[in-house]
Structure 1
Amino acid sequence: MRTRNSTFGRFSAGLALAGTIGCAAGPPPYDPSTVRPYAAPTRQVASPVVPANHQELEDGPVPAAPAAEKVRVDDLVQLALGRNPRLAKATFDIDAAQGKHVQAGLYPNPTLGANWDEIGDRTGPGGILNVPRVTQEIVTGRKLSLSQAVASKEVDQATLALLRERYAVIGTVRGAFYDLYALERRITALDELVGLAGEATKTGQTLLDNKQIARLDLVQLEVELARFRSQAEAARQELPGARKRLAAVVGDPRLAVGAAAGPFDDLPVYDLDQARETVLATHPEVRSARVGVERAQAAVRRAEVEPIPNVTATAGYVKQYENRSNDFSFGLSAPIPTWNRNQGNIRSARAELGAAIQDVGRVENDLAERVAVAHRTYAASLKLAQQYRTDILPKAEETYRLSREAFKGGQFEYLRVIQAQRVVAEARLESVRALGEAWQAAAELSALLLEEWWPGPPPPVPGPGAGPVRLPLPQPDPPRKDGVQPR
């Protein structure tokens, strides 16, 4: 599938532009060939699962999967990259910033005029005709190039905003996908428990008929069955809303989303310190804040040259009917920066520079907090899920099995079997809940780390002639020498 639309083309161009954002002073050229490959985040995958669909970004959106088919998270991510309006809006913001960059470097237009003085004079009724008279403002002090330097940083920030929106959309899609997946697993677990409770109720009815248990015991079994059924039905009522939410974050509210498929038990492994350092070095928000410092520095330089007066040159042809002569005129004029030397704007620009420098620290702190919060939820849920899978759930199932065997041998009352069954039910449901929370936190971490392929590794690099190649993502900014150092 090789369909491309203009919006997606601008989006791909925006990704290429992100790699050129950096450290050069003045208006940098937007050359996609200078893009450098992105260093993969430090992460390991416990059980690598290669996604079924590795279509490239330059391909068109993935077709909507029929409701009867299972969908994978990478399929929905690729679909979102082609349909989500947040990304389309960000591409138009880049177009607007590039237009301002062009406009900032344009020279003032000349003025064409004509004067006809002393009409009807006694010595010459034709008067004095000055036509054409051309006036041109000459810009001094490199004002145009400095204005373009400011505008170029706005283009850089708009490009980084596109990159930020891209991974925000990816993270939201992944989180919504695993919210749906966990709900489906919960329904499956509840259906199994309904089956167990139904068998227990039938057994209890047989025991009651044989007068081996009291009616009260059977009622408790029936209550347990009704509870599991009501929980399963309530979970099923959530299912359409979860699918509609996933379709909405993909960017197509009418998308028919089928059952989720993919890894659920084996989560990727993240290290908190490595994740934090990677995010602070590569995330578009902190890179945009650093570009904001460069923009503020360029704005200060632009404000400081504003008092340098521009020169206005005037030239024209003069026809004098009084003495029947043909003359030429030329003049120069410039304002005198006596009272207005742009003092207020210079002071304002310097204050904005100070605020921009402080904003870098604010953004870094916010990102570090987001990583810490997501990793806290991820680590706690992952540990809990591992304990349930490797320790709690096996022991609970063994207890239930042994209690049933003991009941058949006449050693236990049946209510002890039911109690063991309840423990198994709660352990399974808690395990699914913990896994779901861990996956959603991992999805947020994957977006902060700018992970392109998740949860599996990237596809193998195609050989020559093997088809389109993914656009590389930008590397971290190199250390700067203006006092704003990446942390």
Structure 2
Amino acid sequence: MKKLTFPLTISCFLAIAGCAGVNGPSRQLARHTGSVAGSSSMLSANGSPDDAALAFVDTVAYFDDDTSADDGVADETDELAMDDGLANDSDGRKVADSNLRASNIEPFTIEPIAAFESNVAFDGNDYVMESAGYTLADIEALALGNNPALLSAQATTSKAAGLRHQVGTRPNPTLGYFGQQIADRNTDQHGVFVEQEFVRGNKLQLNRDVLGHTQRAQAAENETQRYRVLTDVRVRFFEAIAAQQQVDATLAFADVAQRGVQVAEDRQEAEEGTLIETLQARTLLSEVTLAAEQAEVAYQGAWQDLAAIAGMQDSAPARLVADMSTPIDTPDWNFAYTEILAQSPELTAAQAIVCEKQALHRRQQAQPISNVTAHLGAGYDDATDHGMINVQLSAPIAVWNKNSGNISAAYSDYVRATQEVQRIEQSIRSRLARAAQEFETAMKSVRKYEDEIIPQAKKSLELSEEAYRAGELDFLQVLIVRRSYYESSIRLIQSRGNLAQAASKVDGLLLTGGLDSPVDYTDGDGIRGASFGGQ
């Protein structure tokens, strides 16, 4: 049994004061990978109806951790070699079906349960071998390499780094020529000059401080998008696994139901059964056939959804392999909430934006500090036949524009950013409450089915088959018990799928939306232009 894992975390809260945070730590998400176990049950030599039902009962071992796909296959090959209800008596001679019916032992066999192995599939007529299936790690690797939203987030992170460099660069100097009194004879003045604006108030460094926090937020958004992709992949992977297992279980039981129809028809011909039994057997087969068709449609849809998230070009369904073991304990949800807050890159991005707005507020406060423009020129005066040098210094005076509007707006943005952090914290709590509800509901269901319902249904099926052979139970009652066990098995599969999906959401820090467009926190290099002129 595998215990539900949560991310290793450190404690952190709202990063407002210092705003010198680092990128949110990455983590290895818990993975539910492994081999799908198969059942080891086979039919007994006499091919009796109780053995057939019990062969389906043992398919439950497909969902248990302590079974293996190849258990018992070699040992019971001889038993599977019998054809059409013919069994060997003590002398090795074949006994006819009529003799078997007379002794209340009917020719009722099913295909080997080894068909549940991960590289075996049912093609509509028979089980065929397939190539090795996809594990969760395989799909995750494809998704991380192919998801366009993740690649977009990575590109935006590079963009933020470029903008941070740009907003801190100084203004270029101006090189020019000047000429004066050119129209007057012998009074021309010619020269060249260099002009440079000196940015005061540490504005350029403040610019880089602002964009540095933007870059951190964008890197956290990149990590957030990674978690979104992985969570979506895992949720859809386990949804597809559950659908795949339902297809397998339904096809196996459809085979049982088909042989049940044959038994009912044989009993009716031998005047040991009734038309009602035959009709009931056919009804059960029709219902199971419909369930198989619906399960196949559900599996196809789940596979297509998974393929779209992972960016798989080949959309043909392939076999999926995973360990659907049940976690031992229910998590401490308060502790899980604290861990998620500490680890969440979504929250890290919001905290980085708080720091960005703080830095922008400081930057706007420095804006009224006037820059100084220096002008140095050198030339020649024809009138005096001497050289000349011009020096000019200029600076705007903050009389009318003290940037008060932008300062107020920047402070409002800061307040809004702090509220956004609180909103995300509450959103995480809300999403965790929903995920916890899904997890605990599925956990209770899985445990109830594993510990009580399935063992009881299995025992009931065993007893009903024994009573049927002893003539204490009619065929219709056996059909009802078989149907009950099949339905319980399907519900167990569904519950395990729901449990794995809920665990995946928690392991993925409750982040979903792998194909949603990532947030772009960058806002160009306009802050650099505002640094010049001192206005």
User: What interval of TM-score do these two structures reach, taking the shorter chain for normalisation?
Assistant: 0.7 to 0.9
**Matching residue's letter, 2:167:** A
Q: CA deviation at 1:364?
A: 0.7
> What is aligned with 2:153?
90
TM-score normalised by L of structure 1: 0.77
- The worse-fitting range, judged by mean Cα deviation, of 375-384 and 250-259 is 250-259
Describe the superposition over 1:224-272 as per-residue Cα deviations: whole angstroms up to 9, x where unpaired. Answer: 1011012112322343333332222112333666311121133475332
**Counterparts of 2:35 and 2:507, CA distance in 1:** 15
> What is aligned with 2:221?
161
- Contact persistence 2:247–2:299 (CA under 8 A): no
Describe the superposition over 1:422-472 as per-residue Cα deviations: whole angstroms up to 9, x where unpaired. Answer: 21111011111111111111111111179xxxxxxxxxxxxxxxxxxxxxx
**Matching residue's letter, 2:491:** E
Instruction: Summarize the Cα distance change of 1:75–1:171 in structure 2 as closer, same or farther, 3 Å threshold.
Output: same
**Counterparts of 1:36 and 1:304, CA distance in 2:** 30
> What is aligned with 1:258?
318
Instruction: Summarize the Cα distance change of 1:209–1:377 in structure 2 as closer, same or farther, 3 Å threshold.
Output: same
- Please, which of 387, 393, 403 is the counterpart of residue 342 of structure 1? 403
Q: CA deviation at 1:295?
A: 0.7
* 1:105 matched to 2:105: no
- The worse-fitting range, judged by mean Cα deviation, of 433-442 and 144-153 is 433-442
> What is aligned with 2:289?
229
Instruction: Summarize the Cα distance change of 1:95–1:38 in structure 2 as closer, same or farther, 3 Å threshold.
Output: closer
**Matching residue's letter, 2:294:** A
> What is aligned with 2:243?
183
**Counterparts of 2:411 and 2:130, CA distance in 1:** 58
> What is aligned with 1:149?
209
**Counterparts of 1:319 and 1:158, CA distance in 2:** 55
- Please, which of 360, 385, 393 is the counterpart of residue 421 of structure 2? 360
Alignment of 1:322-333 (within 5 A): 322-333=383-394
**Counterparts of 1:202 and 1:338, CA distance in 2:** 100
- Please, which of 352, 359, 375 is the counterpart of residue 436 of structure 2? 375
- Contact persistence 2:340–2:509 (CA under 8 A): yes
Instruction: Summarize the Cα distance change of 1:67–1:328 in structure 2 as closer, same or farther, 3 Å threshold.
Output: farther
Pick the structure with greater CA Rg.
2
* 1:69 matched to 2:132: yes
**Counterparts of 2:374 and 2:35, CA distance in 1:** 67
Instruction: Summarize the Cα distance change of 1:274–1:449 in structure 2 as closer, same or farther, 3 Å threshold.
Output: farther
**Counterparts of 2:168 and 2:18, CA distance in 1:** 16
Q: CA deviation at 1:51?
A: 8.7
Gaps of 5+ in 2: 1-14, 37-128, 512-535
- Contact persistence 1:244–1:253 (CA under 8 A): no
TM-score normalised by L of structure 2: 0.71
- Contact persistence 1:289–1:360 (CA under 8 A): yes
- Please, which of 251, 269, 274 is the counterpart of residue 214 of structure 1? 274
Describe the superposition over 1:4-33 as per-residue Cα deviations: whole angstroms up to 9, x where unpaired. Answer: xxxxxxxxxxxxxxxxxx8996999xxxxx
**Matching residue's letter, 1:190:** T
* 1:173 matched to 2:195: no
**Matching residue's letter, 1:160:** A
**Counterparts of 1:111 and 1:191, CA distance in 2:** 81
Aligned length: 404
- Please, which of 194, 198, 204 is the counterpart of residue 138 of structure 1? 198
Percentage identity across paired residues of the two chains: 28
Describe the superposition over 1:29-53 as per-residue Cα deviations: whole angstroms up to 9, x where unpaired. Answer: xxxxx99976889x9x9xx97799x
- Contact persistence 2:133–2:321 (CA under 8 A): yes
**Counterparts of 2:183 and 2:391, CA distance in 1:** 25
**Counterparts of 2:203 and 2:408, CA distance in 1:** 18
> What is aligned with 2:507?
446
- Contact persistence 1:71–1:258 (CA under 8 A): yes
Gaps of 5+ in 1: 1-21, 29-33, 53-65, 451-487
- Contact persistence 1:26–1:145 (CA under 8 A): no
